[in-house]
């Protein structure tokens, strides 16, 4: 099966890191097609970045060839529901995937993420995904996304210290890594913390394999039906649903 792994930020080196993790967990018959968004922010750390990243993400989904499943490799899960509207192939956000994975191996987890403002955005996701009972706390490290890539930064030690505090202060028994750029830290942290450390990229790839393997597709009944044809004006005119660019022609608006 073919899984398209989309980094919705425009930093190609981060895509390489994410793709390496995805390929390390993928089953032998799974092909990972890694793509970096061609338009938008270099890192996604606030609501505006998220909003601006969505058109680049959509471009990657509508580009041929189609995949059997898509993974949005950013912990804000930007554009997740919009993406599910324009394809019937299953689409996975790494935050949703990681939180679900954590519930299978613990009764209470903490999310350790990047900036304080990103922490607040993650709290919205926890509520949206109905994870309030299992997510004990979301913690910020004040490490900017692109700092994760700089070996000379203290990011690794800072994140380890925050995870240690989470286990003691939140009484959590698992850690969810709150950024795609932390994908390469899971094994290092798990070794030191001796609890499950869940990277959403790996979780999303494995869920994608499972859901595709079960023959499931995104429901087209209700709000995930293809967007209704209408006029879009200005810079986004070409994205108007129904003019050929958005939505496989085999899907009917419901």
Question: Rounded CA gap, 170 and 138, in Å?
Answer: 10
Query: Applying CB under 6 A, does 179 fall inside the site for ligand 2AL?
Result: yes
Query: Applying CB under 6 A, does 176 fall inside the site for ligand 2AL?
Result: no
Query: Applying CB under 6 A, does 180 fall inside the site for ligand 2AL?
Result: yes
The residue range among 128-136, 163-171, 172-180, 223-231 that interacts with ligand 2AL, by the rule CB under 6 A, is 172-180
Closest distance of CB 212 from ligand 2AL, Å:
23
Binding ligand 2AL (rule: CB under 6 A), the pick from 5, 25, 74, 159 is 74
Q: Positive or negative, the Cα torsion across 16, 17, 20, 22? A: negative
Cα 132 to chain centroid distance, Å, stands at 19
Binding ligand 2AL (rule: CB under 6 A), the pick from 21, 30, 36, 113 is 113
Residue 214 structure tokens: 């079960």
C-alpha distances (whole Å) from 225 to each of 82, 91, 107, 195, 229 are 10, 14, 34, 40, 12
Query: Applying CB under 6 A, does 175 fall inside the site for ligand 2AL?
Result: no
Nearer to ligand 2AL (CB atom), residue 75 or residue 207:
75
Query: Applying CB under 6 A, does 141 fall inside the site for ligand 2AL?
Result: no
Query: Applying CB under 6 A, does 118 fall inside the site for ligand 2AL?
Result: yes
Closest distance of CB 180 from ligand 2AL, Å:
4
Quick check: helix, strand or coil at residue 72? strand
Geometric angle at alpha carbon 151, from 149 and 155, rounded to 5°: 75
214-246 as b/e: b if 16+ CB within 10 A: eeeebeeeeebbbbeeeebeeeeeebbbbeeeb
Query: Applying CB under 6 A, does 76 fall inside the site for ligand 2AL?
Result: yes
Which residues lie near ligand 2AL (CB under 6 A)? 9, 43-45, 74-76, 113-114, 118, 145, 178-181
């Amino acid at each position: 099966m073919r899984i398209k792994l989309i980094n919705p930020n425009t930093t190609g080196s981060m895509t390489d890191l994410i793709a390496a993790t995805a390929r390390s967990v993928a089953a032998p018959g799974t092909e990972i097609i890694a793509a970096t968004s061609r338009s938008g922010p270099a890192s996604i750390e606030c609501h505006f970045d998220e909003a601006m990243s969505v058109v680049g993400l959509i471009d990657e989904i509508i580009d041929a060839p189609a995949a059997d499943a898509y993974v949005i490799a950013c912990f804000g899960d930007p554009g997740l529901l919009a993406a599910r509207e324009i394809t019937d192939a299953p689409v996975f956000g790494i935050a949703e995937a990681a939180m679900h994975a954590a519930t299978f191996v613990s009764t209470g987890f903490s999310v350790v993420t990047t900036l304080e403002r990103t922490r607040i955005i993650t709290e919205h996701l926890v509520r949206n995904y109905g994870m309030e009972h299992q997510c004990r706390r979301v913690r910020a490290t004040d490490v900017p996304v692109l700092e994760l890539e700089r070996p000379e930064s203290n990011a690794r030690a800072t994140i380890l210290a925050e995870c240690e505090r989470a286990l003691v202060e939140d009484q959590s028994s698992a850690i969810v890594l709150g950024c795609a750029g932390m994908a390469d830290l899971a094994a290092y942290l798990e070794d030191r913390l001796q609890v499950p450390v869940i990277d959403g990229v790996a979780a999303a790839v494995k869920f994608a394999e499972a859901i595709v393997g079960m023959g499931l597709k995104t429901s087209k009944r209700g709000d995930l039906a293809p967007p209704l044809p209408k006029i879009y004006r200005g810079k986004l005119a070409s994205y108007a649903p129904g003019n050929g660019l958005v939505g496989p022609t085999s899907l009917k608006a419901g």
